[in-house]
Amino acid sequence: MPDSQEPESIRLRIRREAGGLLGRLREATAPLLAGLRDHRAWHWASERWATSRWFRFGGYALAGFVALNLLLWIAVTRNLPSADSLLTYQPPLPTMVRGVNGEIVYSYARERRVQLRFVDFPKPLINAYLSAEDKTFWSHGGVDYTGLAGAVIDFATKVGSDERAKGGSTITQQVAKNILLTNEYSVVRKLKEMILARRIESVLTKQQILELYLNEIPLGRQSFGVQAAARAYFNKDVGELQLHEDAFLAILPKAPEKYGRANFASQAIERRNWVLDQMVKNGAIDAATADQAKAQPLGIVARRAETYDPSTGYFVEEVRRRLIAEYGEKAEDGPNSIYAGGLWVRTSLDPQLQKAAQDALQAGLMRYHAGRGWAGPIAHVDIDPDAWQGQLVTLNKSISYKDWRVGLVLSRAGGQGTIGFADGTTAPLIGLPDAMKSGDVIAAGPAGGKAWSVRAIPSVSGGMAVQDPRSGRVLALQGGFDAGLDSFNRATQAMRQPGSTIKPFVYGTGLDYGMTPASEVLDGKFCVYQGARFGQKCFVNFGGNSAGSGNHTLRWGLEQSRNLMTVRIASEAGMDHVVKQIERVGIGKYPPYLAFALGAGDTTVLQMSNAYSALANNGIQYAASTIDFVQDRNGKVIWRADTRRCNTCNMANWDGKPMPRLASRGKQTIDPRTAYQVVHMLEGVITRGTAVVLKDLNLPLFGKTGTTTGPTNVWFAGGSQNIVSAVYIGYDQPRSLGGYAQGGTFAAPIFKQLVQSTRNRWDTRPFVAPSDVHMVKIDRISGRRVFDGTPSDDPKSSVIWEAFKADAEAKRSTGLEDLAKQRDALIAAMRRGSRVQTGGTAAAKPDASAAPDAAPSIAPEAAVVTQ
């Protein structure tokens, strides 16, 4: 059969089959229709239909009415939500963030709600709501038809006016509206609400409906549900409310934003007392109890934003970013939404260390900025005289430094003006800089009396991270001067050159490849041929010294942060090995150019802190983590940082079995012997090196300073056995900090303040050497072994304990008299400076067969001078 005939054949078959079906239907209904035709009513109706025009008109009208109702029913019920969905309904709940001690430190939410079970709601509170909203709740089937009739009459009397008719909705209807429908004010929505209410009553018990209602109802002040409202209006839990407070909460569904305001207090009291009267009428309380409750004032607390410790701002913002990356930001993204999923997030935040880190960094930035004057406004707005408060609130700027506040310059005349604050108050402003103008958003502090004066927020910024090296847990993050001004986290997001803080990993690579802390390396001229294009590059020490000071031990070179010694060590150990070690500890992935041995590559404060954690922990390194675990709203752990499994923890019989032990999460990124040797040398940085400002802390600390070319950034990284920290200072748009700025003078004092304010948290035990590291007495200057001297804590002591790997102990020995002569000669040579014979040599040129522009051993554009 041709293709063109196929569709017609199919149509014919369909018509044939449909005709057969209709025939069978007629056969099946024929007896019924015959019975109807034989009935008297049928004969009477047939006669009337044939003879009466009005009868036919009534029939048509009835049919039209039925059809109209059918169409209306279809229109209303089409796409109507299923009442069954309430069985699994989960209301939007805030995500609660807890610190290391389990206390709530912050919450992420668009709606403030605390979900309770029906048994948790006090009976007086339930009675108050039933008396105010739905006194027949326990008896109706979802719709109160008496109340509905009253609502219809009220609606009819108010048609055409601006007044809104009373709803007449039962609690079940309000559940349908609040959860399944919208707040649209229309007859169609009302019909949908009634239909759903009937369906809900067939799906849920009365207790379940009331539980949904009391958890979901909007009650003003951004609170949803009675528990959130109890906290918002009375700063109590529902179980602590008194009867007059229960009655007040019961009036809020009608006008949640009205009755919570002071200027509507009389109306609120009147409405509250009406609820109490209704409770008496319904038999919930007696008249004497109601009178006693009526005598009470409203007692609502002033409206206030939910407050948390402002020092946690940068930390909780970092946690939020990590949660967004894991679960998504929008409420529609599923049950683990950050703003609606009701997650419980246990973090590693230590409130004491976080506050100390904020205070220390703020103090350090203020010290640097001292005397530099006003650096400009936080922001600028075009002032609307009638809405300036809203403009200021919308900016969402705050400050938690001392008694400072963020305000808006409303006007100025000469050196004086008026400042407005977010709470709507204004005050005189004095000491205005010439560059300040109306509309500037600034920081101000009390100046005596009612006046305020301008405060200068530092234009320089910085970041600080504090970690537990034994677990990788981040205990504190401070990403700038104040999180209320700027959410950019310079501890985790800013990429900066670390300068000399990278040198310990260069020296560690040298120790891995045959050197010892006592090995002598030339601090002298060091040049590298970079090919025909770039020629020869010569390095210099900090301060521009390219001549050096002769041969010195690795310890001395690290303590004094000598660039020439560092690049020579990197060259001898091999830059390939150096950059691999730097990558292994997570600082960054760099090409094998010598400039990266001096900190030319970018990294973050947290990455540097985590790298130093490996040194403090015998070379074992853990991934940095701010979140310990995440639970869903039901308490189930859905994510954890520690994913190890204990397969033998649930054995039925423990007799004679060894204790189960989890595998280590840490990764051995540094040889434990090397790690201890580096830490031992870095203790000398604090005893007699570039971080000597920390010596008077009298704690077993290690650390290293860093200063990059310019100097544009200054650093310090270090710590103890149980706490490690890294800190840097620099401008967001890199520029010079001034020639006097060094890591030891600006960054190290910030670390010092952190330790001083949390001294009881820092381990007082000395670092312990691995079993295959031997402590040997050596001469500190020459590195030679001695037998008749006694090491002391004096930083000028000529004899010290030095750490050697068991197979690399110092073999040379000498007496004290010889040591004294050698030391005197070396010191004299150092004093002569440039007259010292450095023996510096340039690297040999490549042979002619090499490409003229082959990759040089230093990237010229990345060259830095560090300390």
What percent of the chain is helix, strand and coil (3-state, nearest 5)? 40, 15, 40
For residue 638, the SS3 value is strand
Residue 200, CA distances (Å) to 115, 117, 205, 298, 485 in order: 20, 19, 9, 35, 49
7 has a pLDDT exceeding 80:
no
Kindly state the percentage of the chain with pLDDT values over 90: 54
Give the pLDDT of residue 537: 80
Distance CA 32, CA 44 (A): 18
Give the pLDDT of residue 160: 53
Distance CA 292, CA 273 (A): 11
Residue 485, CA distances (Å) to 123, 311, 399, 432 in order: 46, 12, 6, 21
Backbone φ and ψ of 231, nearest 5°: -75, -40
Burial profile 449-464: b = 16 or more Cβ within 10 angstroms, e = fewer = eeebebbbbbbbbbbb
Distance CA 441, CA 421 (A): 10
634 has a pLDDT exceeding 60:
yes
Average pLDDT over residues 530-535: 74
445 has a pLDDT exceeding 50:
yes
Residues 8-57 pLDDT 10s:
454 555 555 556 655 665 666 555 555 555 666 666 667 666 677 776 67
840 has a pLDDT exceeding 70:
no
Give the pLDDT of residue 650: 73
Among 418, 403, 602, smallest CA distance to 493 is for: 602
Among 681, 683, 680, smallest CA distance to 698 is for: 683
DSSP string of 320-384, one letter each residue:
HHHHHHHH-SSGGG-TT-TTTB--EEEE---HHHHHHHHHHHHHHHHHHHTTS-----SEE----
For residue 725, the SS3 value is strand
Would you place residue 251 in the very low, low, confident or very high pLDDT band (cuts 50, 70, 90)? Answer: very high
Looking only at the bridges linking them, the beta strands covering 667-668 and 724-730 are unpaired
113 has a pLDDT exceeding 80:
yes
Give the Cβ contact number of residue 206 at 10 Å: 14
Q: Which fold has domain 381-455?
A: OB fold (Dihydrolipoamide Acetyltransferase, E2P) (2.40.50)
Peptide bond into 711 cis (omega under 30): yes
Please identify which of the residues 111, 133, 201, 318 carries the catalytic annotation: 133
Residues 722-742 pLDDT 10s:
999 999 999 999 999 987 899
549 has a pLDDT exceeding 80:
yes
Would you place residue 540 in the very low, low, confident or very high pLDDT band (cuts 50, 70, 90)? Answer: confident
Give the pLDDT of residue 174: 85
Check: CB of residue 849 under 8 Å from CB of residue 482.
no
Burial profile 260-279: b = 16 or more Cβ within 10 angstroms, e = fewer = beeeeeeebbebbbebbbbb
Average pLDDT over residues 590-612: 95
Among 420, 413, 411, smallest CA distance to 388 is for: 420
Would you place residue 306 in the very low, low, confident or very high pLDDT band (cuts 50, 70, 90)? Answer: low
User: What are the start and end residues of each CATH 2.40.50.140 domain in the chain?
Assistant: 381-455
Distance CA 685, CA 126 (A): 69
Least trusted range by pLDDT, from 20-34, 99-113, 508-522, 533-547: 20-34
Among 459, 461, 427, smallest CA distance to 444 is for: 427
Give the pLDDT of residue 855: 30
2 has a pLDDT exceeding 50:
no
- The DSSP code for 701 is -
Give the pLDDT of residue 333: 58
**What pairs with residue 426 in β-bridges?**
420
Average pLDDT over residues 339-352: 93
Backbone φ and ψ of 757, nearest 5°: -80, -10
Check: CB of residue 758 under 8 Å from CB of residue 802.
no
CA atoms within 13 A on the CB side of 581: 29
Report the Cα 757 to chain-centroid distance in Å.
25
Give the pLDDT of residue 813: 55
Tokens of 114: 């605390």
Looking only at the bridges linking them, the beta strands covering 344-347 and 627-631 are antiparallel
Report the Cα 99 to chain-centroid distance in Å.
12
Tallying the residues shown for the chain, one arrives at: 867
Average pLDDT over residues 771-791: 89
Mean per-residue pLDDT of the chain: 84
What is the distance between the terminal CA atoms of the chain, rounded to a whole angstrom?
93
Would you place residue 810 in the very low, low, confident or very high pLDDT band (cuts 50, 70, 90)? Answer: low
Q: Is 802 a catalytic residue?
A: no
Give the pLDDT of residue 330: 62
Backbone φ and ψ of 157, nearest 5°: -75, -20
Give the pLDDT of residue 838: 35
Could you tell me the pTM of the whole model? Answer: 0.81
Tokens of 426: 């204004």
Distance CA 855, CA 838 (A): 28
823 has a pLDDT exceeding 50:
yes
Is 497 or 182 the better-scoring residue by pLDDT? 497
Q: Which fold has domain 115-294?
A: Penicillin binding protein transpeptidase fold (1.10.3810)
Give the pLDDT of residue 180: 72
467 has a pLDDT exceeding 90:
yes
Give the pLDDT of residue 403: 94
Residue 711, CA distances (Å) to 691, 706, 746 in order: 17, 10, 12
User: What are the start and end residues of each CATH 1.10.3810.10 domain in the chain?
Assistant: 115-294
- The DSSP code for 176 is I
Distance CA 601, CA 590 (A): 7
The residue type at 255: A
Give the Cβ contact number of residue 282 at 10 Å: 13
C-alpha angle 399-400-404 in degrees, rounded to nearest 5? 70
Please identify which of the residues 107, 337, 500, 549 carries the catalytic annotation: 500
Among 468, 106, 459, smallest CA distance to 311 is for: 106
Give the pLDDT of residue 745: 94
The residue type at 304: R
Distance CA 176, CA 198 (A): 10
833 has a pLDDT exceeding 70:
no
Give the pLDDT of residue 254: 86
Q: Is 245 a catalytic residue?
A: no
Least trusted range by pLDDT, from 11-15, 182-186, 544-548: 11-15
Residues 737-747 pLDDT 10s:
987 899 999 99
